Chain A
């Protein structure tokens, strides 16, 4: 029998048989999340307004996030051991744990809440407010992803984890907020520590000590996970994890190729829910996401063949750092202003600019650490900015909308150097734009629009003058 949520779930790519099979789980999860019939009309409108639902791949991607949400919410009820990690993250340790036991769910619940309670139900604000009331108050530039995570736990929407993997190699806030979770709920934490101690000019080189240290920390965290979760990491877990995640990377490469087309075939808003799986999910979300990518790629190929795009042919091309995780209206701003956005940092770093690890390491931890150092994101500020420089050539860019996340210190370090560096090295204009990538209350689309539109007009005039 049809239920109030069927229409919305179909809109989000669920098949009828999937809805029927999952009905009890969906209802239980929705009840815990405070989602009822009264939310359906506004949610459908919100999804239709913000996403191109004519693309089946986009609908499936949204569905993949919903499936991950249901799994997270019900994990404890279903006897799973729950492991949370912070975003962004080196996904490898989570993938290894997932590959080792079906009884363990490893995820970044804040990203799940953002993509579902934000992007689908537009009900993230009460969760953020709960985070603010439980240790992460507003007005201090604290991470809004963490506010979502703490808020979700405090409201009983997502379970208290059994174990946490802290991304101590990148983020001070995340690790300290893991301390908060320990203080409030007694959750054991493995701090995967690293030090971003590159000197300016060092990238793409890095010291082997950094690989050894970060690698050893990853290996140590996995050992601790075995003890805390009472599981055994199976010998082929790393191979299996790589095998499971490789299709994601391979497909991203193809997808980035398609985004080189003029006009750009899809909005970057539609790719955001996909690219963020790369460091958010190790379970059903990413697996369903991979399937959705197949569909989306086929749809994009058709559009490219037929010259269909979301921006005008010849529109100035800019790169955004990342799409907004909870409010697609912000991601869409540049396109609404007449710009084409073929690339984001995440999309490019996984599927565009190829990097080659330097060493010949044997342990999973060191192999991961080597890969991440060469990739640059966890190397340092300079490496991140150099990535933008490479992207300009890769995607034939006309400029950059160089966003920085005000309440994420590792990203905010880039605020001023990126503009100076890129303008000097590429000669392209750079709009430095302060945002909150996870919460649009203070940095709304309306408040950012004037800056983006002005920049877009300037780029258009510049391009027209060249022609």
Chain B
């Protein structure tokens, strides 16, 4: 796909481009990839949003070990490792780090930012765990404080016009992801999951306007390309986090002949199902979309919204099975993994395989055996 080549080329020079932009006075805002930071606020100030999305390499966990015990989600320990070691330049380029605090794993990262790297400017705000009007109001208050902070930091006022333009740009990106994703409902496999995930991961780093162009090209190419020659069992892959660099499980599914037709993840896959309404109070609309309308992650209470959505996705995308990919010590997902399979079975008849990772190379063998066996079983 030419669009993907364009993305690769864009990312190849991205750091250099961002550095040049910084030299010209633009600010870079770094944020973790959980989908609760409205990038629109950065874009409306001419700042560059760059997401912390890298993980999968066990070495980052070793680096994190100097700052936190091991009993935390390896994705978040990786963020600590990259932030403190300086080994990934994307983590060093941010002028301001914004952390929307969701659960205690993210809080550990936020503590590290605040305590161990006080020289880095940072801002935290909370994301409630309950979807109700009180939670919505709290989230809105948080992003309003964030807006003020970003305005002060960049020296640019976020006017209605600027914010509206930024929302429209981000809406276009969401709309394109959604359109591409919806094509996967087809009986024929038209989109390779690897490509779809690569687009998501790229979107966390790329220039937004360039990314929209790439997605438009990708969609156009898709419409002109014949279906892929894949006829394996259709897999719904779900979990807390699918990081850039963590392709072990999707790769094994692919090698075993499974075809991933949908990825549902709270971190690493951009929420793209809803658009932000551009009428009325734009900050309130951002809160509505980013907090209330998005599919809740597993650490929301209760997490039934997400589980309902998974069942719907499984039906809509004609999945033959679900692979539940959880990261070690992310307790919300672990606990749900006990009672969800029965519900899934009851409502869809589908089997579910639970796999776990701590980004350790030693896992590859057992994971391969389990996934291959699972897919073999579905085929029969």
- On A, residues with C-beta under 8 Å from B are 135-136, 140-143, 166, 168, 171-173, 175-180, 182-184, 189, 191, 193, 195-201, 209-210, 213, 216-217, 220, 380-382, 404, 406-407, 409-410, 412-413, 415-417, 421, 434
* Closest 4 pairs between A and B when the two form their complex, measured CB to CB: A200-B114, A195-B126, A197-B126, A409-B104
Q: Is the CB of B130 within 8 A of A176?
A: no
State the CA gap A418–B258 with chains docked (Å). Answer: 47
B244: interface (CB < 8 Å):
no
Residue numbers in B under 8 Å from A143 (CB-CB):
331
Q: Which of B111, B138, B335 has the most CB of A within 10 A?
A: B335
In residues 297-339 of chain B, which contact A (Cβ within 8 Å)?
298-299, 301-303, 328-329, 331-332, 334-336, 338-339
Q: Is the CB of B128 within 8 A of A195?
A: yes
Q: Is the CB of B123 within 8 A of A416?
A: no
B134: interface (CB < 8 Å):
yes
Which one of B42-50, B68-76, B184-192, B216-224 is at the A interface? B68-76
State the CA gap A193–B101 with chains docked (Å). Answer: 13
| A200-B114, A413-B108 known; A176 vs B68 contact (CB < 8 Å) | no
Q: Is the CB of A193 within 8 A of B111?
A: no
State the CA gap A455–B303 with chains docked (Å). Answer: 44
Q: Is the CB of A417 within 8 A of B339?
A: no
The one of B127, B141, B331 in contact with A173, judged by C-beta atoms closer than 8 angstroms, is B331
B181: interface (CB < 8 Å):
no
Q: Is the CB of B115 within 8 A of A176?
A: no
Q: Is the CB of A193 within 8 A of B128?
A: yes
Q: Is the CB of B335 within 8 A of A412?
A: no
Q: Is the CB of B128 within 8 A of A415?
A: no
Q: Is the CB of B71 within 8 A of A381?
A: no
Q: Is the CB of B329 within 8 A of A141?
A: yes
Residue numbers in A under 8 Å from B72 (CB-CB):
409, 412
Residue numbers in B under 8 Å from A417 (CB-CB):
67, 111, 115-116
Q: Is the CB of B301 within 8 A of A193?
A: yes
Residue of A nearest to B142 (CB): A197
B241: interface (CB < 8 Å):
no
| A179-B302, A182-B302, A191-B301 known; A199 vs B124 contact (CB < 8 Å) | yes
Residue numbers in A under 8 Å from B141 (CB-CB):
209
Q: Is the CB of B115 within 8 A of A172?
A: no
In residues 123-154 of chain B, which contact A (Cβ within 8 Å)?
123-130, 134-135, 137-138, 141-142
Residue of B nearest to A407 (CB): B71
Residue numbers in B under 8 Å from A220 (CB-CB):
134
Q: Which of A197, A217, A421 has the most CB of B within 10 A?
A: A197
Q: A140-B328, A382-B115 are in contact. List 5 more A-B contacts (CB 8 A).
A: A176-B335, A180-B335, A209-B141, A220-B134, A412-B72
State the CA gap A175–B302 with chains docked (Å). Answer: 8
Q: Is the CB of A140 within 8 A of B301?
A: no
Residue of B nearest to A215 (CB): B134
State the CA gap A191–B302 with chains docked (Å). Answer: 8
State the CA gap A178–B116 with chains docked (Å). Answer: 34
B366: interface (CB < 8 Å):
no
Q: Which of B118, B299, B328, B334 has the most CB of A within 10 A?
A: B334
- Total interface residues on B, using CB and 8 Å? 49
Residue numbers in A under 8 Å from B103 (CB-CB):
172, 409
| A217-B134, A409-B105 known; A168 vs B71 contact (CB < 8 Å) | no
9 contacts between A and B (CB under 8 A): A141-B328, A142-B331, A173-B331, A176-B299, A180-B335, A195-B138, A200-B111, A412-B68, A415-B69
Residue numbers in A under 8 Å from B299 (CB-CB):
172, 176
B54: interface (CB < 8 Å):
no
| A142-B331, A193-B130 known; A179 vs B336 contact (CB < 8 Å) | yes
The one of B66, B126, B134, B343 in contact with A416, judged by C-beta atoms closer than 8 angstroms, is B66
Residue of A nearest to B113 (CB): A200
B51: interface (CB < 8 Å):
no
State the CA gap A416–B108 with chains docked (Å). Answer: 10
State the CA gap A171–B129 with chains docked (Å). Answer: 11
Residue of B nearest to A170 (CB): B104
State the CA gap A177–B332 with chains docked (Å). Answer: 8
Residue numbers in B under 8 Å from A191 (CB-CB):
129-130, 301-302
Q: Is the CB of B69 within 8 A of A404?
A: yes
Residue of A nearest to B141 (CB): A209
Q: Is the CB of A421 within 8 A of B115?
A: yes
The one of A135, A180, A413, A421 in contact with B104, judged by C-beta atoms closer than 8 angstroms, is A413
Q: Is the CB of B104 within 8 A of A176?
A: no
Q: Is the CB of A135 within 8 A of B338?
A: yes
* A204 CB, min distance to chain B CBs, angstroms: 16
In residues 57-95 of chain B, which contact A (Cβ within 8 Å)?
66-69, 71-72
Q: Is the CB of A410 within 8 A of B101?
A: no
State the CA gap A182–B304 with chains docked (Å). Answer: 11
Q: Which of A135, A168, A172, A189 has the most CB of B within 10 A?
A: A172
The one of B68, B115, B303 in contact with A200, judged by C-beta atoms closer than 8 angstroms, is B115
State the CA gap A381–B101 with chains docked (Å). Answer: 13
The one of B134, B142, B335 in contact with A142, judged by C-beta atoms closer than 8 angstroms, is B335
Residue numbers in A under 8 Å from B71 (CB-CB):
141, 406-407, 409, 412
Q: Is the CB of B67 within 8 A of A196?
A: no
Q: Is the CB of B107 within 8 A of A416?
A: no
B289: interface (CB < 8 Å):
no
* B178 CB, min distance to chain A CBs, angstroms: 29
* A142 CB, min distance to chain B CBs, angstroms: 6
* B312 CB, min distance to chain A CBs, angstroms: 19
State the CA gap A200–B122 with chains docked (Å). Answer: 10
Q: Which of A135, A168, A175, A382 has the most CB of B within 10 A?
A: A175
Residue numbers in A under 8 Å from B332 (CB-CB):
172-173, 176
State the CA gap A434–B68 with chains docked (Å). Answer: 12
Q: Is the CB of B303 within 8 A of A197?
A: no
Residue of B nearest to A200 (CB): B114
Residue numbers in A under 8 Å from B334 (CB-CB):
140, 142
Q: Is the CB of B111 within 8 A of A381?
A: yes
Residue numbers in A under 8 Å from B67 (CB-CB):
416-417
Q: Is the CB of A434 within 8 A of B105?
A: no
State the CA gap A196–B127 with chains docked (Å). Answer: 9
Q: Is the CB of B66 within 8 A of A175?
A: no
Q: Is the CB of A168 within 8 A of B301?
A: yes
State the CA gap A235–B114 with chains docked (Å). Answer: 43
Q: Is the CB of A199 within 8 A of B114?
A: yes
Q: Is the CB of A412 within 8 A of B138?
A: no
Q: Is the CB of A213 within 8 A of B134?
A: yes
Residue numbers in B under 8 Å from A413 (CB-CB):
68, 104, 107-108, 111
| A217-B134, A413-B111 known; A172 vs B128 contact (CB < 8 Å) | no
The one of B115, B125, B303 in contact with A179, judged by C-beta atoms closer than 8 angstroms, is B303
The one of B111, B115, B328, B339 in contact with A180, judged by C-beta atoms closer than 8 angstroms, is B339
Q: Is the CB of A200 within 8 A of B118?
A: yes
* B163 CB, min distance to chain A CBs, angstroms: 22
State the CA gap A171–B331 with chains docked (Å). Answer: 10
State the CA gap A171–B105 with chains docked (Å). Answer: 11
Q: Is the CB of B129 within 8 A of A193?
A: yes
Q: Is the CB of A166 within 8 A of B301?
A: yes
Q: Is the CB of B69 within 8 A of A416?
A: yes
Q: Is the CB of B114 within 8 A of A172?
A: no
Q: Which of B118, B126, B299, B336 has the most CB of A within 10 A?
A: B126
